[in-house]
Amino acid sequence: MKRAVRILLIVVVILGGLFVAADRLAVGFAEDEAAEKLRTSEGLGQTPDVSIKGFPFLTQVAGGTLDDVEIGIENYDATSGSDKIRIADLNARMKGVEFSGDYSSATADEATGTALISYDELLKQAQGEPVELPLGATGKVVGLSDGGGNKIKVEVEVSKGGAKLPKPVHVMSSVRVENDTIKVNADDVPKKFEVMGVSIPLPEGMVRDVTDFEEKVTGLPGGIKIDEVRPAKDGVEISVKGTNVKLAG
């Protein structure tokens, strides 16, 4: 009797190991297929990372819904008006992903994630034509960086008659998102600047035409939207979210 029980336990362990191996092979195949479909549907330059969570995978497949899927995309080109804006390291977590049998279509109940827009990328929108200031001077944003304290440091170059002032002007700015638009606004603007010992007043509205800017970001994968933004060391970190997110098909 004891020998029979031992044999039965061995068989159960072997079968369990085979099931786990088959499950892992199946999930690996599904991840590769889903990644390729996503690459094609989103027109990505490289194949994204797709990780299907939860065990066992095969029972999820039988139900037609995956509980938890993580997706990582590097260097995604979103839309900003008539231009493109590069989104670095976009990572999203999808919940309740319903899919077709050939993985040609998939829709998630909800999605949350994070990404980064570098300061150099954000600067492209701020660098428009120089703005006119009093006495024939002009101002232009030439740099963005982390200002600490959840602020962006905006560097403004002031020129007059083709000559740049010896020192750029720096202002601390807040950043927020509103209706898919990232908005950067100076907390305080300089009231004057010095030119050859002469103090020249600066109307606030005129200065804000230089320092303040915004950038609309659309066309993220599956229709997800920017939810929050915050300054970080290398750029603006963004949080994204969405419901009924279509991943492919």
| pTM over 0.95, yes/no | no
Q: Do 68 and 12 share a domain, yes or no?
A: yes
Q: Provide the pLDDT for residue 103.
A: 60
2-16, 84-98, 147-161: the lowest-pLDDT one:
2-16
Q: Do 154 and 69 share a domain, yes or no?
A: no
- Among 58, 89, 115, the domain-final residue is 115
Flag whether 180 is in a domain.
yes
Q: Provide the pLDDT for residue 12.
A: 45
Quickly count helices (H) and strands (E) in the chain.
4, 16
Mean pLDDT of 113-121: 93
Q: Do 12 and 108 share a domain, yes or no?
A: yes
Q: Provide the pLDDT for residue 198.
A: 65
> Closest Cα to residue 88, out of 100, 72, 64, 110?
72
Q: Do 12 and 78 share a domain, yes or no?
A: yes
Q: Do 148 and 111 share a domain, yes or no?
A: no
Q: Provide the pLDDT for residue 112.
A: 93
pLDDT at 68 over 60: yes
Domain total for the chain?
A: 2
Flag whether 230 is in a domain.
no
Flag whether 174 is in a domain.
yes
**CA-CA distance, 238 to 213, in Å (whole number)?**
17
> Closest Cα to residue 189, out of 151, 143, 154?
154
What are the pLDDT digits (tens) for 198-221? Answer: 677 778 888 888 889 998 998 888
Domain that holds residue 92: 2-115
**CA-CA distance, 181 to 121, in Å (whole number)?**
15
Q: Do 185 and 147 share a domain, yes or no?
A: yes
- Among 115, 131, 166, the domain-final residue is 115
Q: Is 64 left (phi over 0), alpha (psi -120 to 50) or beta?
A: left
Mean pLDDT of 143-164: 88
Flag whether 246 is in a domain.
no
How high is the mean pLDDT of the chain?
A: 81
Q: Do 90 and 16 share a domain, yes or no?
A: yes
Q: Do 111 and 8 share a domain, yes or no?
A: yes
What are the pLDDT digits (tens) for 31-60? Answer: 788 788 888 877 787 888 888 887 777 777
Q: Which residues are CB-contacts of 160 (< 8 A; sequence separation ≥ 6)?
A: 135, 136, 137, 138, 195
Q: Do 66 and 85 share a domain, yes or no?
A: yes
Burial-class residue 237 by CB neighbours within 10 Å (0-12, 13-18, 19+): middle
pLDDT at 234 over 80: yes
Q: Is 177 helix (H, G, I), strand (E, B) or coil?
A: strand
Q: Provide the pLDDT for residue 17.
A: 47
Identify the band that residue 11 occupies on the pLDDT scale cut at 50, 70 and 90.
very low
Q: Provide the pLDDT for residue 233.
A: 92
Q: Do 174 and 75 share a domain, yes or no?
A: no
Q: Do 40 and 91 share a domain, yes or no?
A: yes
Flag whether 222 is in a domain.
no
Q: Do 81 and 36 share a domain, yes or no?
A: yes
17-31, 125-139, 197-211: the lowest-pLDDT one:
17-31
More confident residue, 66 or 249: 66
- Among 95, 115, 135, the domain-final residue is 115
> Closest Cα to residue 67, out of 31, 112, 37, 108?
108
> Closest Cα to residue 108, out of 223, 238, 228?
223
User: Rounded to 5 degrees, what are φ and ψ at 98?
Assistant: -90, 140
Q: Is 38 helix (H, G, I), strand (E, B) or coil?
A: helix
**DSSP, res 136:** G
Q: Provide the pLDDT for residue 167.
A: 77
User: 114 has which bridge partners?
Assistant: 91, 239
Flag whether 229 is in a domain.
no
Q: Provide the pLDDT for residue 249.
A: 55
Identify the band that residue 185 occupies on the pLDDT scale cut at 50, 70 and 90.
very high
